[in-house]
C-alpha cells in the first residue's frame, strides 16, 4: 500500500512539474510575441531647445570648452547657437527602445513615412513616422547576429541587409517576407549601398572584398578584391549620379572607384575610416576616422577643404542632409555634431546615446535625423 501511494505521489509530482514546464513555455512564447509586436516603450515627446542668453561660439578644435548639458526626459541635449540663422533642433522626437542589444543600422523609406531599424540579434523593425509606433517586426536570420548596412531601395518597396550568413537578403517591409538573397561573401558584410537608380546593390566585407549585385534578383554583376590594399570596405556610398562608388579602408584612405579600372585615393587621415558620405551634388565627400577627425574633400581635385578634430573619440557615422547645408557626425562616445557644410562650423552638439553611434540617416525631406546607438536605442530628432 505504501509503495502504491509512493508511486502515486511521484506520478502526481511529475505531472505537476510537466504542467508547470508547459505553462512556462506558453507564457514565454506569449511574452516573446508581445515583445515582437509591442509599440515603443514611451510615447513621442517634444523637446524644446532654448538657446543660451548670448550665442555660444562654434567649436573649432578639441581644446574648445563644450557648452553646458541640459536634460529632458531620457535625452541629454547640448545646445550650441552660433548665430540667429542656425538650424533649430526641436519638434517631435521619437525614442525607439525595443531593440535587443545594440541598434546596428537604419534606413528611411523613399517617401519618409517609415523608418526601418535593426538590432544585434537579427530583428528588423518598421516604424510609422507619423504616429511613432512599430507597425512590423521580423527576424532577418535564423542564425541570429546583427543586421549590417540596412538599406531601403530608392525606387521599390524593398529593403536589403547583410546577415550573419555573409549574404545580402532582400525583404518586403510590409510582410517581412524574404524575396531572395545573394551568394556568400568570403567574410562578414560591413556595408551596403543601393545605387541611386535602384538597379544595383553594392556590398563590402571586412577583408576588402567589394561586390555589386543585381537588385532585382540578387545575381552577381562584378566586384573587386582589395585584400592587399584597403583591407576592409567600410561605409560604402554611391556618388549621387551613380557613376562612382566610395568607401573607407583600414589603410586610412578614402577610395573612389569608377566601376571600371580607375581608382582614386584621398590621403589625409591617420587611422582607419569607418564613415563617409557624398554631398547631394556629388562634388564633395566627407569622411570620419578613428583619428577623431572629420574631413571634407573636393572630389575632383582631392583637395582637403575642411579638417576638424572636435570629436573627442573616433568618428563612426556621417550623414549629409538632402539640401546640402548640414553634415551630421557621430562618435564612439555617443556625441552627435551638426556642422555647416560650407564653413565647417559646429551648429550644435547632441549628447544622444550611451556608447557608440552606429548609424545616422536624414529623412528624405531633411527635417528629421535618425541615430542608432550601442545602447539599443534609435532616436529621431526634428531639425528645421
* The CATH number of the domain covering residues in 45-382: 2.130.10.10
Q: What pLDDT does residue 289 have?
A: 96
Using an 8 Å Cβ cutoff, are 214 and 199 in contact? yes
**Per-residue pLDDT reduced to its tens digit, 324-341:** 999 999 999 999 999 999
- Confidence tier at 131 by pLDDT (50, 70, 90): confident
Distance, in Å, from the CA atom of 115 to the CA atom of 112, rounded to the nearest integer, reads 7
Distance, in Å, from the CA atom of 306 to the CA atom of 344, rounded to the nearest integer, reads 6
Q: What pLDDT does residue 262 have?
A: 87
Using an 8 Å Cβ cutoff, are 239 and 193 in contact? no
Task: Please say if the pLDDT value at position 40 is more than 80.
Answer: no
Q: Model's pTM, two decimal places?
A: 0.77
Using an 8 Å Cβ cutoff, are 336 and 346 in contact? no
- Confidence tier at 26 by pLDDT (50, 70, 90): very low
Can you give the three-state secondary structure of 57-81, one letter per residue? CCCCCCCCCCCCEEEECCEEEECCC
User: How large a percentage of the chain has pLDDT more than 90?
Assistant: 57
Residue with cell 564613415: 275
Amino acid at each position: 500500500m505504501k509503495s502504491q501511494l509512493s508511486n502515486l505521489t511521484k506520478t502526481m509530482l511529475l505531472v505537476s512539474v510537466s504542467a508547470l514546464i508547459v505553462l512556462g513555455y506558453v507564457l514565454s512564447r506569449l511574452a516573446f510575441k508581445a515583445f515582437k509586436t509591442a509599440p515603443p516603450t514611451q510615447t513621442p515627446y517634444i523637446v524644446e531647445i532654448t538657446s543660451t542668453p548670448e550665442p555660444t561660439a562654434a567649436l573649432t578644435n578639441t581644446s574648445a570648452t563644450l557648452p553646458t548639458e541640459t536634460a529632458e526626459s531620457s535625452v541629454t541635449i547640448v545646445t550650441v547657437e552660433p548665430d540667429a540663422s542656425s538650424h533649430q533642433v526641436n519638434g517631435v522626437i521619437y525614442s525607439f527602445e525595443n531593440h535587443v542589444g545594440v541598434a546596428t543600422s537604419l534606413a528611411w523609406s523613399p517617401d519618409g513615412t517609415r523608418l526601418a531599424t535593426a538590432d544585434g540579434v537579427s530583428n528588423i523593425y518598421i516604424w510609422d513616422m507619423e504616429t511613432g509606433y512599430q507597425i512590423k517586426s521580423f527576424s532577418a536570420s535564423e542564425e541570429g547576429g546583427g543586421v549590417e548596412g540596412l538599406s531601403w531601395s530608392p525606387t521599390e518597396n524593398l529593403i536589403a541587409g547583410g546577415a550573419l550568413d555573409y549574404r545580402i537578403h532582400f525583404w518586403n517591409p510590409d510582410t517581412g517576407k524574404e524575396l531572395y538573397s545573394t551568394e556568400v561573401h568570403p567574410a562578414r558584410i560591413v556595408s551596403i549601398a543601393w545605387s541611386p537608380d535602384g538597379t544595383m546593390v553594392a556590398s563590402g566585407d571586412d577583408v576588402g572584398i567589394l561586390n555589386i549585385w543585381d537588385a532585382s534578383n540578387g545575381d552577381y554583376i562584378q566586384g573587386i578584391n582589395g585584400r592587399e590594399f584597403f583591407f576592409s570596405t567600410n561605409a560604402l556610398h554611391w556618388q549621387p549620379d551613380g557613376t562612382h562608388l566610395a568607401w573607407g579602408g583600414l589603410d586610412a584612405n578614402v577610395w573612389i572607384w569608377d566601376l571600371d579600372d580607375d581608382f582614386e585615393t584621398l590621403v589625409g587621415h591617420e587611422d582607419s575610416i569607418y564613415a563617409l558620405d557624398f554631398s547631394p551634388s556629388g562634388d564633395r565627400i566627407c569622411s570620419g576616422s578613428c583619428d577623431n577627425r572629420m574631413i571634407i574633400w573636393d572630389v575632383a581635385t582631392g583637395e582637403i577643404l575642411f579638417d576638424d578634430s572636435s570629436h573627442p573619440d573616433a568618428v563612426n557615422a556621417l550623414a549629409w542632409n538632402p539640401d546640402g547645408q548640414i553634415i551630421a557626425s557621430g562618435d564612439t562616445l555617443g556625441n552627435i555634431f551638426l556642422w555647416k557644410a560650407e564653413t565647417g562650423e559646429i551648429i550644435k552638439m547632441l549628447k544622444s546615446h550611451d556608447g557608440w553611434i552606429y548609424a545616422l540617416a536624414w529623412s528624405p525631406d531633411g527635417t528629421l535625423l535618425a541615430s542608432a546607438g550601442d545602447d539599443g536605442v534609435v532616436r529621431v530628432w526634428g531639425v528645421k
